[in-house]
């Protein structure tokens, strides 16, 4: 039912791509028809996680399969899926530059057109302690109308139709965050206007959706 191997492999890919470290972050898949979520376990290094360590939960947050403790951020993942029926995969990571913006509690504006993979910009969710109901609610609210959100003093969350595209959003938002931070250090970046980003969002309905062949 769930591609547990993909969850394991994309966890390693996050680390190899320099998008997170150690056990920082979590990944999940959701079956909207059955109301079930597969999520990585809590506190296990991404290079040590096995397929049997993946935890299956129902939409009430109960573990229905697996012996491991699910990620402490399981509710943030689950609430994202319940609010966003178009999303089947969610990734949370502690990327460097997106987290810098999150610590400044500063949203990522459209200073680079690739921000459009996530939306016209990326907002910052109000701060709440990790793993709490409050953080889950704040994240879902701030990600409305977008595919990614910065978590204040924490990291980034992104969702898409599959893990490939969720990973791509994390990767591109991190790139755009790096560009923005460096540009801010040198001067005042020029932000693309709403009309341009509206056009980009339309273009990205196809361009921004990657497939395994890309």
Choose among 161, 151, 61: nearest CA to 108.
151
Interhelix angle 163-186/96-104, nearest 10 degrees: 60
Angle at 126 between CA 120 and CA 131, to 5 degrees: 110
Q: What is the dihedral of CA 209, 88, 159, 74, to 10 degrees?
A: -160
Asked about 73 being catalytic, the answer comes back as: yes
DSSP β-bridge partners for residue 57: 37, 63
Catalytic residue among 9, 48, 60, 73: 73
Q: How far is the C-alpha of 40 from the C-alpha of 89, rounded, in Å?
A: 12
Q: Would you please indicate which residues are annotated as catalytic (active-site) residues?
A: 73
């Amino acid at each position: 039912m769930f591609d547990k191997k993909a969850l394991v492999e994309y966890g390693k890919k996050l680390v190899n791509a320099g998008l997170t470290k150690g056990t920082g972050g979590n990944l999940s898949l959701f079956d909207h028809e059955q109301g079930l979520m597969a999520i990585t376990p809590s506190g296990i290094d991404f290079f040590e996680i096995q397929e049997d360590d993946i935890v299956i939960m129902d939409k009430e947050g109960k573990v229905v399969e697996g012996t491991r403790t699910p990620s402490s951020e399981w509710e943030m993942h689950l609430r994202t899926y319940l609010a966003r029926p178009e999303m089947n995969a969610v990734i949370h990571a502690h990327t460097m530059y997106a987290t810098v913006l999150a610590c400044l509690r500063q949203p990522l504006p459209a200073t680079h057109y690739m921000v459009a993979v996530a939306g016209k910009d990326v907002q910052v969710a109000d701060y709440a302690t990790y793993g709490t109901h409050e953080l889950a609610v704040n994240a879902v609210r701030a990600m409305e109308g977008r595919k990614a959100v910065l978590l204040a003093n924490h990291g980034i969350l992104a969702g898409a139709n599959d893990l490939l595209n969720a990973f791509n959003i994390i990767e591109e938002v991190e790139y755009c965050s790096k560009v923005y931070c460096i540009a801010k250090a040198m001067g005042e970046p020029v932000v693309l206007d709403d009309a341009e980003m509206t056009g980009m969002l339309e273009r990205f309905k196809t361009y921004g959706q990657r497939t395994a062949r890309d």
